[in-house]
Each structure stands twice: as structure tokens, then as C-alpha cells.
Amino acid sequence: MATRAFQRLPTAPAGRILALRLVAIVLSLFIIAGVLALSGHSPLMLSELILRSTIGSRFGLEDLALFMCPLLLTGAAVYVCGMIGLWNIGAEGQFYAGAIAATGVALGLHGPAAVVLPLMTVGGILGGMAWIAVPTLARAHAGVNEIITTLLLNFIAALLTYYLTTGPWRDRISGAQVSTQRIPVSIPEMWGIVHWGFPVAILMVIGLALVLSRTRWGYEIRMSGANPEAAHYAGMPVRLRIISVMLLSGGLAGLAGMFEVAGTVHRLQGGMANNFGYLGIVVAVLARGSCLNVIPAALFMALILDSGIVMQTQQLSASVVLAITGLILFMIAIGDELAHYRPAARSVPGGKAS
Amino acid sequence: MIALLTGMLATAVLAGGVLALAALGEVLAERAGVTNLGVEGLMALGAVTAVMTVSSIHSPWAGLLAAILVGAAGGMVFAFGAVVMRANQVLCGLATTFMGLGLSTAMGHDYAGQPVGTTFGHVSVPLLSSLPVIGPAVFGQNILIIPIYVLMPLAVHFIMFRTRHGLNIRAVGENPAAADAAGIAVMPVRLWYVTLGGAMAGMAGGYLTLAYVPVWSEGMVAGRGWIALALVIFAGYRPVIVTLSALLFGLVTALSFVGQAHNWPIDPAFLNMLPYLGTMAFIIVPVVVWHRMRRVMAAPAALGQPYYREIR
């Protein structure tokens, strides 16, 4: 029997994770460059163009912040569910639900922005919570797999958005397709087209990190995620914690939808979720280990989205971004697993025979 | 009335076939202990590959074969991450779906919206196809219906529950450490059954464009892969029941078609929600109503867990 050259550690050191992720990302980029070269594009020219028009220009930076804003919130939404060991794959649907609720408030109420905007915020959060309510109760009380229930609701939310924007709320003024009219209020802008939702989203991530690490609630969440049975025997109300975490998650994703409606798009529009919900999963995975990591992870995803726009100008389909995201996620998943391994100690003669 | 029933059943059989194939493939993977959340993406790849193939080789069989091969290749990529490298199965599955959806749209860009010229035409089984209601729906459709609803599920059922090899597969899904101790090669079993499941997801995609909706468009898989995953849970990981529930599910889809054809006073958007709402009800209601069913319909014990021989 051969001896094992590598030994698996129960937890991976942070430094090794970071190193292997960099390898994973670089490897993904090489694969992408190879595919682009094969399909007749010049990867070098393209990457130069991407750098110049994302972080190399003011417009690029503004776009980056606008992409980051929803990603921070959907990423935090998926992250917080992950803390208790659950996967919220439905941030996309909760995003739509929040956007729908916020638009409903804006279209129904006529008043000063100072009154309407807070009500839209509450509406957006409640919309997201309502959208995750059924999966939450099914998970907490009947143990129904939350991955599938949250995901199916994405399709329903998209259809509901389509119905509203082509039916009762359709734009009767400009006749735009699959869109409501422009809503009368908007979140004030702070830098170019970047609205105040961006710093608020960053503050919310920081606040969430504090709550998760410093409060009893956060401790119970982490305990329930690490070992539900032990948490239960220690007297923690695991079921209630599951409900509160999932509702919080839905609320965060709903808030992302509200920010997008009131700050960026200014109307409810079919397809406006732009995969932000799904990309939130990637953000949360990248952030593994610390909630504050959601911020750099969202920046990274925003860079990819921003690059995607440049690629579209070069006759590359928008869906390429999704494929690239998938590839990077795949490589990172493998990298994270490999980070658990270290060369077996030499001091043990021959190592553990298998 | 009879005509309406016949039409509904025919649509149900046709629509359910996509789900039956994908769900049966997932049963194979999950019985071996691997959740493949990449089904949706593999179906999209299969669907677009079938369209691209038949546009140059004018044979639906060639298209179906290409879809199966692409599905198998995609399933192998997923299995490389989730089984060989033992990375997180949820992540690898989602990544596979992202890659599949993105690649299929990019690949099918030039084919989008064009009708597929070569599809599986109707075949009438003599005598049987003249049975009332069932005849046209089951024996007057494309040639794949009988394999999908009868041959494949029975074959999987037989292998899974009546052969030594099937016992090995289930052992790997229930308790890989024990299986390993008994001399079953855990990783190869998982690798091959995930690949086979991927091939069937690809075939489901090929069936979608070659027999059901003969035109490729972005997003046409529309969550059918996820519905198939839910059906596997609903059917308690049983090959025959999963096929029957796919048929039941086809009926839900048919209902929304009938509604639109007869101008029911419900907006089409809401009728289109029926399959998703139906799926939610499918997996939530049974566990709430029949608590005892939970043990009978439980997932394989090691589902979703990578197996490490050295820390068993």
C-alpha cells in the first residue's frame, strides 16, 4: 500500500485558502483567454480595453459602485443564511419581490421623497421577507429542502414582474416594453450617478458583521449552523433562529431590489434583477470566513459584471459573464477543498498506511 | 370533452417526458450519494447541442446522441469537482448550471428563434393508437415516449433494486464507509452514475428541442431542471414513482396550456406560474400532511457528503 503524501485538515488555514483561490482565479482567466483566442478575439487587447473602461475611467468606477450596491446586499443575504447552514438560492426572487413592493409604494403614494423613500424601504424589506416566508416555514417546521423552494420562487417572481410591467402597471406614457413608468422619487446621488444606497449597503454589511460576531443572537446562529443538535441541547431555539435568519436574508435581498428601483433603474422592469440574486451566492461563497469579506467579494463580482458590458461591445454575448462566473465558482470550490490538504508529516515513519 | 381530455393527456405525456428523463438521471446520481444541482445547465447544453447538430446533420437521432454526449461530458466536469476533488457539491452544481446556461446561450446565439427543421415525428403504433384517449396520447406520439416512460424507468428500477450492482450503488449512497469496507469502489461508482445522470439531463434537453418545443431560445429550459430535482425528492428517490410524478407534472403544464387555449379569464403569466407553484406544493404538502412518510421517502443517508477514506 502506498503511503498518503497528503493529509486532510478539518479546517483550512486562511492563508492557504487565499493562495489557492488566487490560483483558481488565474487558472480560470487563462481558460477564458484561451477560449476567447480560439473564437477569434485577442485576449490581450480585450483585457487592456476592460481595464481601461472599468477601473481606468470615472464612468467605469461609477458603474462599478452601482453594480456593487445590489451585490453587497444579495451577497450578505446569502451569507447570513450560510451562517446557519442554509442555502438561500432565491435572492433573485426576493430582489424582484422587494422591487415590486417598493414600486407599488412609489406608484400608489404621492408625497415628498422624505416620506415616500422610507416607506419604499420598508415595503422592499417586507416584500423580500414575504417572498421567503413559505420556504422559511417549510424549512423550519417540516424540514423541506430550502434550496429548491427558494429557487422555484425566483421564476414566480419574474413572471409576476412580467405580469405587472405588461399589465396593470405598464408604462402608458412612453409605451416602453415590460416596464412601469418612471417612479417620481429617487435616492439622492452622492458621486456622479452613484446614489446613497451604495454607502448604506456597505454600512449594512459592516453592521451585519458586528451583529453576527458580537451579539448573543449571532453566536446562536453560528452555533446552530455548526452543530444544530448541540445548539438544541444547549437550549438554543434553533427553529426560531432559522426563521429569523431566513427572514433577515429575504429582507436584505428585498432591500437590494428597492435600492435598484429607487436609485439606479427608477422603474420596475422585466429582467432588472440581472442575476444579482444568483451572483450573490458567488459573493457569499467568496466571503466564506468573514462577513466583512462580502465587500471585496462584491467588488470582484462587480468587476466581472462591468467587464461583461465591455465584452458586449466586442460582440460577445452577455451570457458569457454567467459562464465565466460559473467557471470561477467551480475553480474556487475545488481550490477551497484543496486548501484543506497539507503534505503529510515526515516524522511519522511511512505515514498512515491506507 | 373527450377531445379535451385527449389533448391534455397528450400534452402531459409530451411535457412530462423532459422532466422524467432529467429526474430519472438525478435519481441515479442521488442514489449514489451525489446531489447534482447542475441539471438545469446540462439540460440547456443538451437542448442547444441538439439544435446545432440537426442543423448540419439532418437526423433527430444524431441530435439526441450529441445532446447525450454533451450532457455526459458536463456531468463528468461536475463529477470531477464534486466527486474526484470532493469539493462542495452545492457549489459545483450551481457552477455547472451557470456554465451550462451561459455557454448554451453563447453557443446558440446564431440559432436562436429559428425553427428546428428535423424533429422526432409522430409514430402510430397500430391498434394501440386507436384506443380512446390514451391511444393518441401515448401510442400516437414520438418514438421516444415508450422508452422514456416504460423502458428506462423499469430498467433503472430493476438494476437498482434487483441486482447486486444496484445494491452496491445504494450502499455507496447510504454508507460509503461501509461500502468501501465491503470492497466497493466508492469514487468510481459515484463518478459513473453522476456522469450517466448528466447524460440523461443532456438527453432531456435534446428531447426538449427535438420533440417538445422545436425552437431554441435563451431561457427555454425555464427551471425544468430544478423542477426535476424537486420531483426526485417528492418521489422519494424511486425511479418508477419519479417517472409517474413527471407525468402528473406534465398534467399541470397541460392545464396551463388548456387555460390559454380556452381563454380562461386568468392572465397567462399566472397560468405559467402553475408548474412552479405545483412543484412547491408537491414537495411541501406531503411532508406536512403525512409525517410518517418522511422515513419511507428519506434521502440516501450520505447524500451530499463527500467521502474521505482517511477520516472515516
Q: Out of A163, A317, A330, name the one closest to residue B267 (CB).
A: A163
What pLDDT does A346 receive?
A: 57
Tell whether the model's pLDDT for residue B150 goes beyond 50.
Answer: yes
What pLDDT does A351 receive?
A: 45
For residues B2 and A158, give the distance between their C-alpha atoms in angstroms, rounded to a whole number: 35
What pLDDT does B311 receive?
A: 61
DSSP A3: B
pLDDT tens-place string over residues B61-74: 999 999 999 999 99
What pLDDT does A54 receive?
A: 83
Chain B residues whose beta carbon lies within 8 Å of the beta carbon of residue A341? none
If you search the block for the grid coordinates 446533420, which residue do you land on? B57
What pLDDT does A1 receive?
A: 40
For residues A176 and A165, give the distance between their C-alpha atoms in angstroms, rounded to a whole number: 9
What pLDDT does A354 receive?
A: 42
- Of A332-341, B2-11, B165-174, least confident by mean pLDDT is B2-11
Which three cell numbers mark B107? 453557443
Backbone phi and psi for residue B124, each to the nearest 5 degrees, phi listed first: -105, 120
Measured from the Cβ of residue B112, the count of other Cβ atoms closer than 10 Å reads: 15
Mean pLDDT (chain B, rounded): 90
Q: Do A319 and B105 touch (CB under 8 A)?
A: yes
Are β-strands A6-8 and A341-343 bridged in parallel, bridged antiparallel, or unpaired? antiparallel
Q: Identify whether the C-beta of residue B4 lies closer than 8 Å to the C-beta of residue B172.
A: no
Q: Do A330 and B99 touch (CB under 8 A)?
A: yes
The model's pTM is 0.92
Which three cell numbers mark B62? 444524431
Q: Do B223 and A152 touch (CB under 8 A)?
A: yes
**Mean pLDDT (whole number) for B235-241:** 94
Q: Taking a contact as any Cβ pair under 8 Å apart, which residues of chain A between 275 and 334 contact chain B?
A: 278, 281, 285, 316-317, 319-327, 329-330, 332-334
Measured from the Cβ of residue A49, the count of other Cβ atoms closer than 10 Å reads: 17
The set of long-range contacts for B2-8, using a CB threshold of 8 Å and a minimum separation of 24, is: B2/B132, B2/B133, B4/B258, B5/B133, B6/B132, B6/B133, B6/B136, B6/B137, B7/B254, B7/B258, B8/B251, B8/B254, B8/B255, B8/B257, B8/B258
If you search the block for the grid coordinates 447538430, which residue do you land on? B53
What value of ipTM does the predicted structure carry? 0.92
Please give the full DSSP string across B104-165, using - where no structure is assigned.
Answer: HHHHGGGGTTPBPS--------TTGGGSSSHIIIIISS-TTHHIIIIIHHHHHHHHHHHSHH
Chain B residues whose beta carbon lies within 8 Å of the beta carbon of residue A154? 223
Closest Cα of chain B to A105: distance in Å?
22
- Of B46-55, B211-220, B253-262, least confident by mean pLDDT is B253-262
In a mutagenesis test of the A interface, which of B34, B36, B91, B234 is the best target, namely the one with the most A β-carbons within 10 Å?
Answer: B91
**Mean pLDDT (whole number) for B116-142:** 76
For residues B255 and B170, give the distance between their C-alpha atoms in angstroms, rounded to a whole number: 36
For residues A154 and A101, give the distance between their C-alpha atoms in angstroms, rounded to a whole number: 15
If you search the block for the grid coordinates 415508450, which residue do you land on? B146
Q: Which residues of A53-64 are buried (b: 16+ CB within 10 A; e: fewer)?
A: bbeeeeebbbbb
Which three cell numbers mark A204? 449594512
Closest Cα of chain A to B117: distance in Å?
25
* CA distances for A106 relative to A181, A194, B239, angstroms: 11, 20, 50
pLDDT tens-place string over residues B64-102: 999 999 999 999 999 999 999 999 999 999 999 999 999
Q: Identify whether the C-beta of residue A291 lies closer than 8 Å to the C-beta of residue A208.
A: yes
Quick one: CA dihedral A77, A263, A126, A306, positive or negative?
negative
Which three cell numbers mark A274? 440581472
**DSSP element (H, E) containing A16:** helix A14-38
Closest Cα of chain A to B181: distance in Å?
12
What pLDDT does A2 receive?
A: 46
What pLDDT does A152 receive?
A: 94
Q: Do A281 and B94 touch (CB under 8 A)?
A: yes
What pLDDT does A10 receive?
A: 78
* pLDDT tens over chain A, length 354 residues: 445 677 888 788 888 888 999 999 999 999 988 988 888 888 888 888 888 888 888 888 999 999 999 999 999 999 999 999 999 999 999 999 999 999 999 999 988 999 999 999 999 999 999 999 999 999 999 889 899 999 999 999 999 999 999 989 998 887 778 899 999 999 999 888 899 999 999 999 999 999 999 999 999 999 998 888 899 999 899 999 999 999 999 999 999 999 999 999 999 999 898 889 999 999 999 898 789 999 999 999 999 888 888 888 777 777 888 899 999 999 999 999 999 888 776 554 544 444
For residue B281, the chain A residue with the least C-alpha distance is A149
Q: Which residues contact A38 (CB under 8 A, 6 or more apart)?
A: none
Helices of type H across chain B: 2-31, 39-56, 60-79, 89-107, 134, 145-146, 152-162, 164-174, 176-181, 186-207, 224-234, 239-261, 268-289, 293-296
Chain B residues whose beta carbon lies within 8 Å of the beta carbon of residue A167? 267, 269
**Mean pLDDT (whole number) for B213-230:** 92
For residue B272, the chain A residue with the least C-alpha distance is A159
Burial zone of A107 (CB within 10 Å; 0-12 exposed, 13-18 middle, 19+ buried): middle
